[in-house]
Each structure stands twice: as C-alpha cells, then as structure tokens.
Amino acid sequence: MIKGRNFLVFSDDWGRHPFSCQHIMQHFLPDNRVLWVNTIGLRLPRLSLYDVKRAAGKISSWTSNPPQETLPDNLRIISPVMIPFNNVSSVRNFNKWNVVRTVRKAMDEWDLRNPIFLATVPNASEYIGYFDECLVSYYCVDDFTVWPGMNLPDLVMEFEKKLLEKADIVMAVSDELYSTKKSVNKNTFLLTHGVDVDHFFTATVTQKRLLSLADIQGPIIGFYGLIDSHLDVEIIRMLLDWRVDWTVVLIGTKRIDLGTLESRPNFRWLPAVPYAQLPQYSSAFDVAIIPYVVNQHTNTASPLKLREYLATGKPIVTTAMAEVFRFKEHLRIAARPEDFASEVDKALSDAVDLETRRACLKGDAWTDKAQMVSAWIEEALSAKSQAASGVK
C-alpha cells in the first residue's frame, strides 16, 4: 500500500452511512493523511420531510464537525458551506469561492501539500487545479444523471465531462459505467464494490433473534438499505400476498410512501441500523432480497448489499439488474417482477455451500480494492513523473 502521501477527498459525508469510498479510504489510514471534504447533493432540494431533515443536518455540519478524537488517526473532516443551487451562476461562483477558500485554509493549518485529489461527486470538477494536486482521480460510483429525483441532469453531465477530461485515472464500479467512462478517458479501470466478508459471515451463526423481530413466527424475507424509488413496491405487495405466513421486513431510511403495506400484518419496517449491527439483523433473514426496479439507473449501478448478502451465506433473490449476473450461480434471479415470489419460494429450500460462497468473493475484500486503488495511483504518479522528466 502507498504510504506517506496526502489525500484530498470530495465525497459523501464521512460516517453518514456505509459507502464504498469510506470503506476503501479507511485502508489508507493512518499511513497517509486524508483531508475529507463533505459535499452537498447534486439535485435541487424539494419541499419534503427528507430534504428538510437533510438540509438541517447539513447546516449543523457547517459549524460542528465530528470531534477529532473520534476519528481515525490522520483523518480530518471539513464541511464547507455549499448551497444546493448550482444552476444559478452566482450560487455556483459562491460555492467555488468558499470551498476553495475553506479547503486551502484547512490544508495550510495541517501543512498538507501536493495532495492526491480524489472525487466521487461530479461537482468536484469545479475545484480541480486550486490545491497544487499531484494527481486527479475520479471514483465513479453511480450515474447521477439518472439518479431518482435528479432535476439537473444537464448540469451534472457538464460537471462530469470536465472531471473525466481532467482526471489522471478514473475508477468505475460497474461494467456499464466502465464502458461509458473508458470512451472518454482511456485511463479508466473497473473497480467493483468490495465487502468485509468476515463481518457479514457472522450472520451464518445461529443468534438469538432481535427483540424487534422476536415475535415473528414464520420465514422472514428481508431487505436492508435505502427505501426509495429503486424499490419495486409491487414486488413487495406480491410477496405479502403469495404466502401469509411469510413476513417481509424492510430495514432502512424511507424516502417513499409505502402506502397500505404498513397496515399489512405480515409486513414490517424498521429504521436504518448501524453498519456494525447489520449482520445481526440479516442473521434473522431466511431469504435476503433485492427487489429493485430494472431501469437505466439500476442497470449501471452495483448494489453494495449484494456482496454483503453473499457473505452472510443466506439464500438470495434479486431482480435481473446487469451487475447481479456476475454471481448468477450463487443466487436466484427473477427474470420478471411477477416471478419474484415464486423464486423466493424456491430459495427457502436452497442449501447454501458456505465455502463456495466465500470462494466466490475471493479478491472482493475492501482491502483488495484498496490495494488496487493504491497500485493504480502509484502507476499514474510514476507515469506523470516520467513524462515531466522527458523519460519515454
């Protein structure tokens, strides 16, 4: 692993929810210094409860970052004031001015020089070139132009085009994203999601069922993650109707109305739980499910939970998104939404070979992904150094 380097990371809020960039960058600590810049969303906010709560949290973060003693060694976090109306030129100019000013101040205070610039958000392209960075890397984790609720797709496309043109290396999480980014930047690499196998494998151990699920008698058909428009609510309804002795359990933050589902006796929603507790909850699942709508967005995405489900050793049923076919021998894929319930029925009788499951995840640990990123960065730094010195 690379050591002794400085990183400047523009990404989602550190610690807000488990996500790939944080999983990877944890492995660069403490042997490198990381200045993490919490950013804002790419869409215009709406007058919704979720957006109001999110805005309140953002405003709070501007004045109070996590206490340094609670963070890993050599990690510092800043949250510059950013206004989510980049479509207005004056706001866009303010955001650029304030982010550059705030980041430079933090770099000076920490004496952080010549950082490796790493971004997971396209609007970070606005800040390239202002920090004397030695390398620019773009970790493409999603196609934000088709993200649910996206109302500024052209602006996001503009941001990303600039980022792709300026990046020394690009890393994409799915085959589709790899293909589209490679056509713009030849230094693009496929970096699929990873998993902490040992963390989730504990779910295969028989555990006492959590109190929140202890009263459920029959099979639990379980899902955890953000509950938003990716979720095919009609599939959930069909599962509830298929067998009344099944209980469908959804665990996660709700961003959509689940309507009459919550009044059904064999349905249960639980709020999001900490990452550390996910194995204990998934240990109660008899079948783990990914009932997503199949569309342009989900066919470019790589669900982080898929490898986590695989690590648990539980039977899995998913809709036919492109990325799930990597593991087609280890799960059941419903070709059509109306086939989902029957596939769950079959999965309840599936015997899972745990060693085969672990073997299929070989090379997919987050440590493996971090080492890949480290190697690509070192190669790119070496190539830039040789080019600067005139070596062919």
Residue 46 is part of a domain; what is its CATH number?
3.40.50.11010
Which two tokens mark 368?
């493996």
Interacting residues of 39 by C-beta distance below 8 A, sequence separation 6+: 10, 11, 12, 13, 82, 121, 123, 124
Looking at residues 51-68, what average pLDDT do you find?
Answer: 60
Task: Tell me the per-residue pLDDT of 176-185, one tens digit each, with 9 for 90 and over.
Answer: 999 999 999 9
282 lies in a domain? yes
Q: Are strands 247-251 and 220-224 parallel, antiparallel or unpaired?
A: parallel
1 lies in a domain? no
133 shares a domain with 105: yes
For residues 121 and 44, the model is more confident at 121
Q: What does the alpha-carbon distance between residue 106 and residue 37 come to, in Å, rounded to a whole number?
A: 10
Q: What does the alpha-carbon distance between residue 211 and residue 109 come to, in Å, rounded to a whole number?
A: 48
Per-residue pLDDT band for 390 (boundaries 50, 70, 90) equals: confident
Cβ-in-10-Å burial (0-12, 13-18, 19+) of 46 comes to exposed
174 shares a domain with 93: yes
310 lies in a domain? yes
Q: What does the alpha-carbon distance between residue 121 and residue 9 come to, in Å, rounded to a whole number?
A: 10
217 shares a domain with 328: yes
Q: Are strands 169-172 and 116-119 parallel, antiparallel or unpaired?
A: unpaired
Q: What does the alpha-carbon distance between residue 235 and residue 224 come to, in Å, rounded to a whole number?
A: 15
130 shares a domain with 22: yes
Q: What does the alpha-carbon distance between residue 359 and residue 363 come to, in Å, rounded to a whole number?
A: 9
257 lies in a domain? yes
Q: Provide the percentage of residues in the chain whose pLDDT is more than 70.
A: 91
Contact 10, 120 (CB under 8 A): yes
117 shares a domain with 24: yes
56 lies in a domain? yes
User: Domain holding 301: CATH number?
Assistant: 3.40.50.2000
Residue recorded with tokens 């409860």: 49
336 shares a domain with 289: yes
Look at 20-29, 32-41, 123-132, 327-336 and tell me which has the smallest mean pLDDT: 32-41
Q: Look at the pTM and tell me if it is higher than 0.85.
A: yes
125 shares a domain with 201: no
Residue-range definition of the domain harbouring residue 241: 197-360
| Distance set, CA 325 to CA 180, 318, 382 (Å) | 19, 10, 36
Strand order in the sheet with 169-172: 75-78, 33-38, 6-11, 116-119, 135-140, 169-172, 188-190
Which two tokens mark 6?
């400085």
190 shares a domain with 203: no
Q: Kindly tell me if the per-residue pLDDT of 269 is higher than 90.
A: yes
Per-residue pLDDT band for 212 (boundaries 50, 70, 90) equals: confident
CB atoms inside a 10 Å sphere around CB 45: 17
3-state SS string for 267-322: EEEECCCCHHHHHHHHCCCCEEEECECCCCCCCCCCCHHHHHHHHHCCCEEEECCH
Runs of H (alpha helix) within the chain: 20-25, 49-63, 89-110, 153-166, 175-182, 197-201, 233-242, 278-282, 304-312, 340-347, 354-360, 366-389
210 shares a domain with 247: yes
Give pLDDT, residue 285.
Answer: 95
Count of domains for the chain: 2
Which two tokens mark 31?
């042997």
94 shares a domain with 11: yes
275 shares a domain with 218: yes
For residues 117 and 209, the model is more confident at 117
Per-residue pLDDT band for 70 (boundaries 50, 70, 90) equals: confident
186 shares a domain with 230: no
CB atoms inside a 10 Å sphere around CB 3: 9
b/e sequence 117-137, b meaning 16+ C-beta within 10 Å: bbbbbbbbbbbbeebebbbbb
